Structure 1
Amino acid sequence: MVVPERGVDVALTVEPGQTLALSGANGAGKSTVLSAVAGWLRPESGHARLGERALFDEHTWIPARRRNVGYLTQDPLLFPHLTAEANVAFGLRRAGVVSRAQRREVARNWLDRLGVGHLAGRRPHQLSGGQAQRTAIARVLASEPDLVLLDEPLAALDAQAVPQIRELLAEVLTGRTTVLVSHQAADLRALADVITTIPAPPPSA
């Protein structure tokens, strides 16, 4: 894919069930790649396929809401007016979980799995950084996306929360097709099957 205004020109392949980590200097375009795959940014050229389905190419552009791609940004971006449970349940109707009771059950199960089920009724301002990130991870994975995108998922956490969340991610991402961006060597060792370095763009003239 090519995003010239951001100096990005990359070609990547992720095997099913594999976690591919993108490393590189600040400004190399790692987050830009994730935004394009997620459908938040439209590249000038190039293509991306998810299985047999084109996400974008010269003739096709599937909007983000129809890609079945789960995107966890550096900040949790939880809806402030919704409880943790409602945040996780929010995208489940689009994922085909029609019944409200089923959505609540799926959301609660994922919150339990992430260790924050007891906080299901709290709103984001009542959660610590680690608790909010666990909730955000649950929201991304609850809809069973075909592809998971993680942009520095541990960068905003307190140092004491990082090892536990890293271990949890290693567990829940097993067998899931994932693209991870991280500057931390410990994250790459714990989470990545393959590491690709994106070179920094050439300096502007």
Structure 2
Amino acid sequence: MVVPERGVDVTFTVDEGQTMALTGPNGSGKSTVLSALAGWLRPETGHAQLGDRTLFDEHTWIPARRRNVGYLTQDPLLFPHLTAEANVAFGLARAGVVGRRNRRDVARDWLGRVGVGQLASRRPGEMSGGQAQRTAIARVLASGPELVLLDEPLSALDAQVVPQIRELLAEVLTGRTTVLVTHHEADVVALADAATTIPAPPPSA
């Protein structure tokens, strides 16, 4: 994958069901890589393959809504006007969950799995940062993505919450194909099966 205007040139492969950690200094393009995989940014050259589908190459571009990719950022980005349950239920149509009752049941099950089942009726403004991030994790995974993208998912949390969320991610990501961007060695050790480093871009002329 090459994005010259952002100084990104990287190649890596993630085995199915494994987690690849992308590391490197600030400005090396780690988040740019995730944006390209998610369909938010179109690289100038390169290609990405997910299973037997080409997400992009010089002839192909699958839009984000059709990629079946889940993206979790350091900011939970929950819909502020929706309850936790409604936030998780929002993407369940993509996972093939039909009917309001079924979506409610699946959403509640996922909220329970991430430890915030008692907060189903709360809106994001009524949650702590850790609770909101747990809800965001449930929303991403409940939709059944083929690929999970994590962009510094622990960096915005209070230090005392980080070990709990890291342990939760280690549990729920088992067997899921994942690309993790992180600056922290503890995240790599706890969550990743392999790692690759993106070097800093060359200095501007």
Q: Same fold (TM over 0.5)?
A: yes
Aligned to 1:94: 94
One-letter code aligned to 1:109: D
Q: 4+ residue stretches of structure 1 with deviation over 6 A? A: none
Shift of residue 57 of structure 1?
0.8
Deviations 1:93-128 (A, max 9, x none): 122212111111111100000000100000000000
Which blocks of at least 5 consecutive residues in structure 2 are unaligned?
Answer: none
Structure 1 residue matching 2:160: 3-state secondary structure: helix
Aligned to 1:204: 204
Shift of residue 22 of structure 1?
0.4
Aligned-residue sequence identity (percent) comes to: 82
Aligned to 1:66: 66
Aligned to 2:189: 189
Structure 2 residue matching 1:199: 3-state secondary structure: coil
One-letter code aligned to 1:154: L
Aligned to 2:178: 178
One-letter code aligned to 1:198: I
Deviations 1:128-154 (A, max 9, x none): 000000000000000111000000010
Which blocks of at least 5 consecutive residues in structure 1 are unaligned?
Answer: none
1:1-205 map, 5 Å: 1-205=1-205
Shift of residue 45 of structure 1?
1.1
- How many pairs were matched up? 205
Shift of residue 70 of structure 1?
0.5
Partners of 1:94 and 1:151 in 2: CA distance = 22
Partners of 1:95 and 1:61 in 2: CA distance = 22
Asked if structure 1 preserves the Cα contact closer than 8 Å seen for 2:95 and 2:142, the reply is: no
One-letter code aligned to 1:21: A
Partners of 1:94 and 1:70 in 2: CA distance = 11
Structure 2 residue matching 1:70: 3-state secondary structure: strand
Partners of 1:89 and 1:103 in 2: CA distance = 6
Asked if structure 1 preserves the Cα contact closer than 8 Å seen for 2:85 and 2:108, the reply is: yes
One-letter code aligned to 1:37: L
Partners of 1:108 and 1:57 in 2: CA distance = 39
Deviations 1:72-91 (A, max 9, x none): 01100000000000000101
Superposition TM-score, scaled by structure 2 size: 0.99
Structure 2 residue matching 1:201: 3-state secondary structure: coil
Partners of 1:3 and 1:89 in 2: CA distance = 35
Superposition TM-score, scaled by structure 1 size: 0.99
Partners of 1:61 and 1:198 in 2: CA distance = 24
Partners of 1:185 and 1:125 in 2: CA distance = 31
